[in-house]
Amino acid sequence: MRMAPVIIWLESHLRAWTGNRVSLLGIAGLQSLQVTVPGRKSGTPRTTALLCIPYGDGYIVTGSNWGRPEHPAWSANLRAADEALVKAGARESRMRVRMVTGDERENLWKFVVDYWPGYRMEHRRSGGREFRLFVLEPTRTATTTRES
């Protein structure tokens, strides 16, 4: 998608300008979150805004990379992490990261494309690459959360 760099820039700046209260995804009526994990090589915290799908007490995020043939860099960082700092609206909490595979992934993929049919188009554009699907779930231990 040729507009992807512009949309990503607008999304990050809109979130920064509004203190994370407004996002392009939100304007479009879609739910989003910010996920922060250490870079798998650098260890430097990396934050990415993502479309999310509510799932139980957590969320599903999809590594579509706008239909490009390669996986998004953030998905490699998330894959290497056990936990992530997740900010959804004003709520921030630590969540367990789990990449889904096999039958569970197939079932969740159907759920994901029902929620956001645009993923079907992106899947075709990617050449059929299997998008990484992650479930972000509340940790079992007490976590610190903030309401801003």
pLDDT digits (tens, 9 = 90+) for 27-86: 666 788 999 999 999 999 999 989 999 999 999 999 999 889 999 999 999 999 999 999
Q: What is the pLDDT of residue 142?
A: 39
Burial class (CB in 10 A: 0-12, 13-18, 19+), 100: middle
Contacts of 9 (CB under 8 A, 6+ apart): none
Residues 6+ apart with CB under 8 A from 5: none
20-24, 54-58, 113-117: least confident range: 20-24
Q: For the whole model, what pTM was predicted?
A: 0.82
Q: Which domains does the chain have, with CATH numbers?
A: 30-147 (2.30.110.10)
Higher pLDDT, 31 or 143: 31
The span from the CA of 78 to the CA of 31, in Å, is 19
Of the candidate ranges 5-14, 114-123, 130-139, the one whose mean pLDDT is the lowest: 5-14
